[in-house]
Structure formats: C-alpha cells, structure tokens
A and B are shown apart, each in its own frame.
Chain A
C-alpha cells in the first residue's frame, strides 16, 4: 500500500496535521519543538494548496461573470427600443429553483478530485474540523403538481449509481436482454430508454411532468417566450457559476478559516513549549550557580 506521501499533492491529500500527527509527551523538548514545526509546516502546505485552488476558482468566476455581463449587454443592445433585461421584468412571485445544501459529515471520507475535476464533482468539498467536514452544494429543485419539492440532483446521482451498477454485472445484463427479447413490450421500452433498470410507464410520465415544470419555473420566461440567444448564454454561464464555482469557493474559504485556526493553535503550543524549555534551562542554570 502506498503511503500518503507518495500520492500527488492536493488540498485533500495533504496530511492533516490535526488527525495524523500525535505529539509525544514523553520526548525531550527539542524533538517536541521539531514536531510542532513539522505540524505547522504540514498545515501551511495544506493552506497554500487551498489558496491556490481559491485563486483558480476566483479567476474562473471572474471570466464566467465577464462572459455573462457581455451576453447581457448584447441582449440589451439587440432588444427592442426601450426594453432592458433587468429588474422591471422580475417575477414578484419567483421561487428559487437552485438552493443551498449545507451538510456535514465525518472526516476521513473519500478524497474528492482535484481542481479540474471539481467542475463536476466540485460541489462537494471537505472542511476538516477535527473530525468534522462541512460541505456546501447547490441543488436543482423542482416542484410537483402539489407544490412539493423534488430535488433533481439526488435523482441524477441515483441514476448514475444505478447505471454504474447496471454496467458492472455483464452476466445479469445478458440475462436481462434475453428476458427482454421474450417480452416485446419491455424490449420496446429498452430501445427507447436505453436504461438497464426497470422500464415501466411511470418514468416516462415523470420525465414529462418535470419537463413541464422546468419550463414554468425557468426565469427566462420573465422576459418573454422567445428570448434572444445571448440571454440564454448569459443564463448558462450564470448557472455554471452558481452550481460549480460559488459552492466550491465558499467551501474552500471555510476550510481555509479552519486551517488558519489550526495554525494559530499550533504556533501557540510551540511558543508554550519554547517557554517551558527556557524556564527549565534558567532553573537548571540557577541550581548550578547555587551549588558552585
């Protein structure tokens, strides 16, 4: 098994000084001092990786927003005279379709991908707080006919999971195929859906419903049915910023705050240890002086 030191460095797999580093009490002061130094170094390394990620995310957000503003300006330029895509068209009864989910889970969870990967999986991030990990995500929320919330992202995750499960056992798939060939109705569904799992009439209906609701809840509709292309492009850039960059930035920021606290604590402990050592030395000198 490879040790953590051989892995490529990222904010997640930089060794956490708080959990992995135990300061031995019985050792002599110089080694204790070294221990504190290595602990602080590890924390600072982690901090610098986080800072790197933060600045990268910042530049991505800046470019996304610049594109968004440009597209909005284009849409306004091409719009009818006197028309401006702005607050005058906001729906007074708007309902948020993208919402925040703040969750915490225990540390030592799976390490998330690196920054580049974070575009997809970046919504989940870790904040090491002793053993606590904070996680900010933005989820897409839709409503069914009764007005109940339907969280779409979870469905997607489930779908992915089921697809992965479906792909792994090849024998089961073969069995499933053989079964479907015997039943012509289900075979038709298989062709239509291309999904390895259960294929009833219900999923189709659900898809239709969610599609209808999605159209109703789309903020683009505030500005009319036929919205210009730049406005739609601005929307997609805004969605990317809100879904992928902002939750990551917030989480990285929170993690940085946590590491700052850890660094300060470690520095204090080091100072204390140095003070104790100095006192011991002066006391020893005093004893030697008295005996002489």
Chain B
C-alpha cells in the first residue's frame, strides 16, 4: 500500500493519444511535457490516418508501463477502438485511462468501458 502511494506521488503528468486537434487543444491547457534532452520523451502522440496501430500500442505501452511519471492517460475513443484489446485488458490503478471524444467521433456511451462495467454489474 505504501509502495503504491509513493508510486502515485511521482505520477504528475497527463498523457494524450489523440488526433491533432485533440492534442493541440489539450496541450494549449499546459499539459504537454518533453523530458530532458538525452531522452526527450514526449507525453503525447498525434495520431492521423497514416499512424499504424503498432505505434499507438507502443505509445500506450510506454505511458502505462515504462514511464512512471504519468498519472492520467487521455485517449480519443476512436483511437482506443483501434487498440481495444489493450484498453480492455488494462486493469492497473495508475495511470488511469480515460477515453475522450474527438472532433469527428462524438462520445459513444456504447463503447465506454465504464458503462459496460455498469451493465456487467447489473447482470446484463
């Protein structure tokens, strides 16, 4: 328990995996961060039509397991759909993953993992 609390303390950044407008908007809010030069790791990934699923998956993997300074991962719902198997099997408390709507793909409650959990709890 103490270890997880210490772990949570270091998690101070939000990460974003999204289309250009989503990332631009959220970075305007001041959440963007690039680490010191040798690594220069970004806490965001801009996804377009050419971006491969493997790249998205690698970024998700990096933000969830490799980096210990990410507290919340924001991911566009339509991008989360592309790596749905990874999102659904991810159960760790930190960092927490939150699916957000995008410009071209409004929020769909049917795909929301939280609402699916609700349905499961009520026996549907």
A234 partner, pick from B28, B46, B94, B114, beta carbons under 8 A = B28
Are the CB atoms of B117 and A256 closer together than 8 Å?
A: yes
Within 8 A of A (CB), among B80-124: 93-94, 96, 98, 100-101, 103, 106-107, 109, 112, 114, 117-118, 121
Instruction: Identify the closest chain B residue to A96 (Cβ).
Output: B33
Q: Interface 1/0s, chain A 91-130, versus B by CB < 8 A?
A: 1111111111111100000000000000000000000000
Are the CB atoms of A69 and B103 closer together than 8 Å?
A: yes
Q: Is A210 an interface residue (CB 8 A)?
A: no
Are the CB atoms of A100 and B12 closer together than 8 Å?
A: yes
Within 8 A of B (CB), among A188-203: none
A250-B24 contact, Cβ under 8 Å, with A62-B101, A97-B30: no
A51-B100 contact, Cβ under 8 Å, with A87-B24, A104-B5: no
Are the CB atoms of A92 and B34 closer together than 8 Å?
A: yes
Most B-side CB within 10 Å, residue of A51, A99, A253 = A99
Chain A, interface residues (CB within 8 Å), range: 35 or more
A96 partner, pick from B8, B30, B106, B117, beta carbons under 8 A = B30
Are the CB atoms of A101 and B100 closer together than 8 Å?
A: no
Are the CB atoms of B26 and A250 closer together than 8 Å?
A: no
Are the CB atoms of B98 and A65 closer together than 8 Å?
A: no
Q: Is B59 an interface residue (CB 8 A)?
A: no
A72-B14 contact, Cβ under 8 Å, with A96-B43, A102-B9, A136-B72: no
Q: Is B61 an interface residue (CB 8 A)?
A: no
Are the CB atoms of B27 and A98 closer together than 8 Å?
A: no
Are the CB atoms of B12 and A54 closer together than 8 Å?
A: no
Q: Is A273 an interface residue (CB 8 A)?
A: no
**Main SS class of interface, B:** mixed
Total A-B Cβ pairs within 8 A: 136
Cα separation A85 to B30 with both chains bound (whole Å): 15
Are the CB atoms of A238 and B13 closer together than 8 Å?
A: no
A94 partner, pick from B14, B33, B118, beta carbons under 8 A = B33
A260 partner, pick from B12, B106, B109, B117, beta carbons under 8 A = B117
**Closest-CB distance, A117 to chain B (whole angstroms):** 22
Are the CB atoms of B71 and A65 closer together than 8 Å?
A: no
A residues near B46, Cβ cutoff 8 Å = 87
Cα separation A163 to B44 with both chains bound (whole Å): 39
Within 8 A of B (CB), among A208-229: 217-220
A87-B20 contact, Cβ under 8 Å, with A72-B25, A98-B29, A239-B30: yes
A242-B20 contact, Cβ under 8 Å, with A65-B100, A96-B13, A100-B11: no
Q: Is B74 an interface residue (CB 8 A)?
A: yes
Instruction: Identify the closest chain A residue to B70 (Cβ).
Output: A100
Q: Interface 1/0s, chain B 14-32, versus A by CB < 8 A?
A: 1000001111111111111
Chain B residues in the interface with A (C-beta under 8 A)? 5, 8-9, 11-14, 20-34, 40, 43, 46, 71-72, 74, 93-94, 96, 98, 100-101, 103, 106-107, 109, 112, 114, 117-118, 121
Chain A residues in the interface with B (C-beta under 8 A)? 47, 51, 54-55, 58, 61-62, 65-66, 68-69, 72-73, 85-87, 90-104, 136, 138, 140, 217-220, 231, 234-235, 237-239, 241-243, 246-247, 249-250, 253-254, 256-257, 260, 263
Apart from the given pairs A55-B109, A72-B25, A95-B33, 17 other A-B contacts in the complex at a CB distance below 8 Å: A58-B112, A69-B21, A73-B103, A86-B24, A90-B32, A96-B33, A99-B12, A99-B31, A102-B9, A138-B14, A220-B28, A235-B25, A237-B25, A238-B26, A242-B26, A242-B31, A253-B98
List 10 tightest A-B contacts by C-beta distance, closest first.
A100-B71, A97-B30, A96-B33, A238-B29, A102-B8, A235-B28, A242-B29, A69-B103, A99-B12, A98-B30
